[in-house]
Amino acid sequence: MIVRDSDYLKLELTKLFAENGEGLAFLQQVTLDGLWYWDLDQPDNRWMSPKCWAALGYGLDEADHLSEEWQAHVFPEDLELSAANLEQHRADPLCPYDQVLRCKHRNGSTVWIHSHGVAIRDEQGHATRMLGLHHNITHIKQLEQRHKKNLHIIDELYASTKVALEEAEALFTSSPDAKLQVDQDGFIVRGNPEAVHLFGYSEAELLDMNIDLLVPEAYREAHAKGRSSIQLDPRARAMTGASRVIQACTKSRQTIQIEIRLNSLQTRYGSHVVATIRDVTEYNLMVTSLQQTRAENKCLTIDATTDPLTGLYNRRYFKKQANKEFANSWRYNNELSLILFDIDNFKQFNDLYGHVVGDQVLQQIGHSATDIIRNGDTLARFGGEEFVVLLPMTGLHAAQALAERIRQDISDLRVAVADRPLLGVTISAGISARESQDKNVQKVIERADAAMYQAKALGRNRIVVSEPDAQSNSGLG
Ligand X SMILES: Nc1nc2c(ncn2[C@@H]2O[C@H](COP(=O)(O)OP(=O)(O)OP(=O)(O)O)[C@@H](O)[C@H]2O)c(=O)[nH]1
Positions in the binding site for ligand X (CB under 6 A):
309, 342-348, 350, 355, 358-359, 362, 384-385, 456, 460
Residue placing its CB nearer to ligand X in the complex, 312 or 343 = 343
Residue placing its CB nearer to ligand X in the complex, 117 or 430 = 430
Distance of closest approach, residue 347 Cβ to ligand X, in angstroms: 3
Distance of closest approach, residue 343 Cβ to ligand X, in angstroms: 5
The half-sphere exposure of 27 on its side-chain side, counting CA atoms within 13 A, is 21
In terms of phi and psi (left: phi > 0; alpha: psi -120 to 50; beta: otherwise), the region of 367 is alpha
Residue placing its CB nearer to ligand X in the complex, 270 or 311 = 311
Cα 43 to the center of its chain, rounded Å: 74
Residue placing its CB nearer to ligand X in the complex, 47 or 346 = 346
Distance, in Å, from the CA atom of 319 to the CA atom of 336, rounded to the nearest integer, reads 14
Contacts of 233 (CB under 8 A, 6+ apart): none
Backbone CA torsion sign across 104, 110, 111, 112: positive
Distance of closest approach, residue 444 Cβ to ligand X, in angstroms: 21
Distance, in Å, from the CA atom of 127 to the CA atom of 357, rounded to the nearest integer, reads 141
In 3D, which of 276, 251, 97 has the Cα closest to residue 175? 276
Distance of closest approach, residue 309 Cβ to ligand X, in angstroms: 6
Residue placing its CB nearer to ligand X in the complex, 135 or 456 = 456
| Cross-strand pairs, 271 | 266
Residue placing its CB nearer to ligand X in the complex, 183 or 342 = 342
Contacts of 462 (CB under 8 A, 6+ apart): 407, 428, 429, 455, 473, 474, 475, 476, 477
Residue placing its CB nearer to ligand X in the complex, 70 or 349 = 349
Distance of closest approach, residue 462 Cβ to ligand X, in angstroms: 12
Distance of closest approach, residue 222 Cβ to ligand X, in angstroms: 59
- From first CA to last CA, the distance across the chain in angstroms is 167
Q: What is the helix (H) or strand (E) element at residue 264, kind and residue range?
A: strand 255-267
Residue placing its CB nearer to ligand X in the complex, 219 or 353 = 353
Distance of closest approach, residue 387 Cβ to ligand X, in angstroms: 11
Distance of closest approach, residue 320 Cβ to ligand X, in angstroms: 22
Q: Supply the DSSP string of 402-465, one letter for each residue.
A: HHHHHHHHHHH--B--TTS--B---EEEEEEE--TT--SHHHHHHHHHHHHHHHHHTTSS-EEE
Contacts of 37 (CB under 8 A, 6+ apart): 46, 47, 129, 130, 131, 132
